[in-house]
Amino acid sequence: MPLKIVENFDSSFTLEPQCQEALFALLTGEVFLRQVCEGLQWQKVEFTELLFQPVPYSLITPKGMPADFEPYHESKDYTIINVPPNFMFNAKVFKPSRLCAVYQKIV
C-alpha cells in the first residue's frame, strides 16, 4: 500500500464558547496542573490558552504541528501536551477529534 502524501491540511477550528470554557476549566484544574508538573519535573506550569490541532507530517510541517507552534516545541520553557480524550468528551468537543495544549514553565 503506497503512502499518501498530504500537501495541504486545514488545521483551523473554532470551539463553541461553552465548550471552550469547559475545556479550559479542565486544562487549568489544580490536580491536572500538578500531574503536568510531576511529569515534567517542573515546579509550576500555566496554561497559555493556546490550542492547536495536530497536522500530518510533511516537508512544511515536520513536527506534526502548525508552523506557528514550532517555537513552543523547541523552547525549554514551554511544553506541548495532547489534550486527554476524556477532557475533550467532558467538554463536548468532538470536532476536531484531537487537540494539543501549550503550557509555560513558571519559575
φ and ψ at residue 85, rounded to 5 degrees: -55, -35
pLDDT tens sequence across 8-28: 555 677 899 999 999 999 999
The pLDDT score that the predictor gives to residue 19 is 95
What 3-state class would DSSP assign to 27?
Answer: helix
pLDDT-based confidence at residue 99 (cuts at 50, 70, 90): very high
**Which 8-state DSSP code applies to residue 72?**
H
Q: State the Cα–Cα distance between residues 88 and 105, nearest whole angstrom.
A: 23
Residue 18 in grid coordinates? 461553552
Q: Give the Cα separation of 37 and 25 in Å (integer).
A: 17
| pLDDT tens-digit readout, 48-71 | 999 999 988 777 788 889 889 999
